[in-house]
Amino acid sequence: MSGWHGWFTIEHREAHSQARTGRLATPHGTVETPVFMPVGTQAAVKTLSPHELRAVGAQIILSNTYHLYLRPGSAVVAAAGGLHRFMAWEGPILTDSGGFQVFSLASLREVTADGVRFRSHLDGSEHLFTPELSMAVQRDLGADIIMCFDECLAFPAPYDAVAASVERTTRWARRCHRAWREEGRPDRQALFGIVQGGVYADLRRRSAEALVELDLPGYAVGGLSVGEPAGLTVAVLEAVVPLLPADRPRYLMGVGTPDLILEAVWRGIDMMDCVLPTRMARHGTVFTSEGRLTVRNAAFARDFRPLDPACDCYACRHFTRAYIRHLLKVNETLGMRLTTIHNLRYLHRFMERLRQAVRADRLPEFRAAFYAGEGAALGFRPPEPATLPGA
Amino acid sequence: MSGWHGWFTIEHREAHSQARTGRLATPHGTVETPVFMPVGTQAAVKTLSPHELRAVGAQIILSNTYHLYLRPGSAVVAAAGGLHRFMAWEGPILTDSGGFQVFSLASLREVTADGVRFRSHLDGSEHLFTPELSMAVQRDLGADIIMCFDECLAFPAPYDAVAASVERTTRWARRCHRAWREEGRPDRQALFGIVQGGVYADLRRRSAEALVELDLPGYAVGGLSVGEPAGLTVAVLEAVVPLLPADRPRYLMGVGTPDLILEAVWRGIDMMDCVLPTRMARHGTVFTSEGRLTVRNAAFARDFRPLDPACDCYACRHFTRAYIRHLLKVNETLGMRLTTIHNLRYLHRFMERLRQAVRADRLPEFRAAFYAGEGAALGFRPPEPATLPGA
């Protein structure tokens, strides 16, 4: 779509890596990249209000088509005036295609040429998801960025299965592209293709080349962060990113730990999402500048310091480890809210520092300092180099 | 305690009732009465942050000694610098004595001359609560207002059982008074006595007179809102309030519906607390100017109005019934937070209107309008007159 040329502006290319900073202009405002997107599965980032999301520095959030399709239904969201108005989040939103949940959460009935017949994980009701339905639902939800309906296999998956899945994902992407252009809102919603292909270099190439032909507003790398070692994640990025058009945003799906964010940005990724930082927080584990804290531990019962003395978030400005531990132990939801606020603030500050390092051409220094200090304290090591089969 | 003369200032006495407005000067700020106190059972009003509490208009909150004694333990709270600092609530706090929960929640082992031996409702561990321990725990928690350790019987209870219970509560109050003066903080913590006596006028009189002899900073009416008809609640107030010193604050424990708040204020009550508005909210029912809404109902699935178009709370300013219903249906805790904010804001605005009516000598008009309009829509009727046995 010619309308999408120039919607993503690259501002700086880092001198020593593939990293770049940029700006994504959406109908709901501009996003500075590289960006981390918190996940609001059911039209809410668990435990948070949209104003708290804004306060932690969130620029854009992700929401899940599969979940919203089941509850409250996309017709309700459309009647509300779209997802932004429904959930009172005025910033940009990205919706996924539903594919990942259909293949992982639902009871799968049948993958046909047309789409996927499945049973809801909630009540067992039967549904048929097709590329066209995913596009229609995402059109009704009204996100700024929407995703092609894809198939995401578990790791490891045999070559032949991945090859067949890439074929299917490619055919579905073409149907999504058509539906988006003919019945969608190609003027207001940016459609991203999703490169699949597992850890097989030639299948990744086949997938990427077919999607690039469609000249989409953006490209995602899918099928990663599904259990493979970090070295393979990185190797796939090194194989795929050079195949994607440099002037389109690149989105790595499902990555949200500081180490992999850093490695992905180094390799030219602009956008990431993950439920991990918020899920970890609800289970009582937080990232801090001094390492990981499992706040529920007895060690913190009388620790009257903030979660992270170096943090400026609402939780760290007002509450102690001892109080947050108490809240988590007695199941007061404020506890999960405070750890969620903290972890998201931590990650958004990390992204700010990362963007600064890119702009200053100091990503190697940032990376070395990270693995020598804060990253090591958090338990992160540089990924072990790995080679892709078929590379 | 002579230090407590004048800590409560009556500003206006309503011309047609026993109602009055006043100001309670505590070490953590001044409270305008009549006042409703939200309940923060475990050092948090469920789902809310202290800043949200402030925003709904909360002036003073209640917290439960029994719960805090078990978790995190009063020594932890004391080490934090007291409950205010522990939970980051800078306003006044009242703690109850633990008596109500010991008799209702715990497995009761034995009531002795010394106190009550019970097993924790959490882990079955055995504890002995005495008046002196209740005072020591409440001293460590550091609330602005603390309560005498009392026995609260269920309704109905036979005369002899209530008589024995009043004797016990009176003896315990004397011991609390002594412990407070000798080992407590009588300079910073106001001790309230609790009038018991069930629905028996002579026992209520006996209880009140014994407590008044102690010249306490304030007096509570306990043993109500335990299942008795509203007419009896009101009749007990009419029997007890005239026996209490006019210049001390009067606190009706466990009342939190607008109708009973109004009736209690009419009869000279200055303070009230109840978990009902917050518990109702978490179950999805809210008070509005147009009646009660059970927001979970399917009727609200596409209702894009605020909970109450006449309300100025955070929930009503930003979110619709449809969205809040969705959140409640999918168990997103933001839903319970929004309904809690709304119900507390509703009640605090109700208290503001009530104080205005008292100051303007218009309480009869306010009461008539309430039962003819908003109160009727909420399902409230004036209590049926009732007579106390032995009155």
pLDDT band, very low/low/confident/very high, at A2 (cuts 50, 70, 90): low
Tokens 């080349």 belong to: A209
Alpha-carbon distance of A233 to A240, in angstroms, equals 11
Mark yes or no for CB contact A327/B44 under 8 Å: yes
| A:B CB pairs within 8 Å | 105
Mark yes or no for CB contact B42/A318 under 8 Å: no
Residue A367 has pLDDT above 70, yes or no: yes
pLDDT band, very low/low/confident/very high, at A256 (cuts 50, 70, 90): very high
Interface residue of A140, A326, A328, A339 to substitute, partner B, most B CBs within 10 Å: A326
Catalytically active residues of B, by annotation: 96, 273
Structure confidence at residue A313 (pLDDT): 98
Structure confidence at residue A34 (pLDDT): 98
- SS3 state at A243: helix
Residues of B in contact with A72 (CB under 8 A): 301, 322, 325-326, 329
- SS3 state at A102: helix
Indicate the average pLDDT of chain A: 96
CB atoms within 10 A of CB A167: 16
A46, A86, A314 ranked by CB distance to B323: nearest:
A86
DSSP secondary structure letters along A341-390? HHHHHHHHHHHHHHHHHHHTT-HHHHHHHHHHTHHHHTT--PPPP---TT
Structure confidence at residue A1 (pLDDT): 46
Q: Is A311 annotated as belonging to a binding site?
A: yes
Q: Which helix (H) or strand (E) holds A308?
A: none
Mark yes or no for CB contact A323/B80 under 8 Å: yes
Closest by CA position to A48, among listed A275, A333, A258: A333
pLDDT, one tens digit per residue, over A121-169 is 999 999 999 999 999 999 999 999 999 999 989 999 999 999 999 999 9
**Which position among A96, A144, A259, A270 bears the catalytic label?**
A96
Taking CA atoms, A106 is separated from A76, A100, A102, A138, B99, in Å, by: 22, 10, 5, 19, 50
Type of residue at B389: P
Structure confidence at residue B122 (pLDDT): 93
Question: Chunked in runs of 10, what are the mean pLDDT values of chain B (391 residues)?
Answer: 84 98 98 98 98 98 97 98 98 96 87 91 94 98 98 93 97 98 98 98 98 98 95 98 98 97 98 98 97 97 98 98 98 98 98 98 98 97 92 65
- SS3 state at A18: coil
Closest by CA position to A217, among listed A133, A145, A143, A136: A145
Nearest CA in chain A to B325: A72
Take residue A193 and report the two structure tokens written for it: 């293709």
How many angstroms away from the CA of B32 is the closest CA of chain A? 26
- Which regions of A66-155 does DSSP assign to beta strands (E)? 93-95, 107-111, 116-119, 126-129, 145-147
pLDDT band, very low/low/confident/very high, at A260 (cuts 50, 70, 90): very high
Q: Is A342 annotated as belonging to a binding site?
A: yes
B46, B79, B314 ranked by CB distance to A332: nearest:
B46
Tokens 């069930």 belong to: B198
- Asked if A363 contacts A266 with a C-beta cutoff of 8 angstroms, the reply is yes
Mark yes or no for CB contact B72/A301 under 8 Å: yes
- Asked if B256 contacts B36 with a C-beta cutoff of 8 angstroms, the reply is yes
Structure confidence at residue B5 (pLDDT): 87
pTM of the model as a whole: 0.98
Binding-site entries of B for substrate: 96-100, 150, 196, 223
- Asked if A145 contacts A26 with a C-beta cutoff of 8 angstroms, the reply is yes
- SS3 state at A25: strand
pLDDT, one tens digit per residue, over A6-63 is 999 999 999 999 999 999 999 999 999 999 999 999 999 999 999 999 999 999 999 9
Structure confidence at residue B224 (pLDDT): 96
What's the average model confidence in pLDDT over A317-344? Answer: 98
Mark yes or no for CB contact A88/B301 under 8 Å: no
Residue A330 has pLDDT above 90, yes or no: yes
Q: Is A99 annotated as belonging to a binding site?
A: yes
Alpha-carbon distance of A270 to B385, in angstroms, equals 71
Interface residue of A53, A334, A340, A342 to substitute, partner B, most B CBs within 10 Å: A334
Structure confidence at residue B1 (pLDDT): 46
How many angstroms away from the CA of B152 is the closest CA of chain A? 26
Taking CA atoms, B255 is separated from A246, B20, B222, B252, in Å, by: 66, 18, 10, 7
How many angstroms away from the CA of A75 is the closest CA of chain B? 9
Residues in chain A: 391
Residue A391 has pLDDT above 80, yes or no: no
Our measurement of the distance from residue A67's CA atom to the centroid of its chain's CA atoms, rounded to an integer in Å, reads 16
Sorted by where each starts, the structural domains of chain A and their CATH numbers stand as 2-274 (3.20.20.105), 281-375 (no CATH)
Alpha-carbon distance of B252 to A141, in angstroms, equals 50
**Which position among A144, A259, A273, A308 bears the catalytic label?**
A273
Residues of A in contact with B304 (CB under 8 A): 79-81
Residues of A in contact with B72 (CB under 8 A): 301, 322, 325-326, 329
Q: Which helix (H) or strand (E) holds A162?
A: helix A159-183
Closest by CA position to A295, among listed A345, A344, A340, A260: A340
How many angstroms away from the CA of B313 is the closest CA of chain A? 14
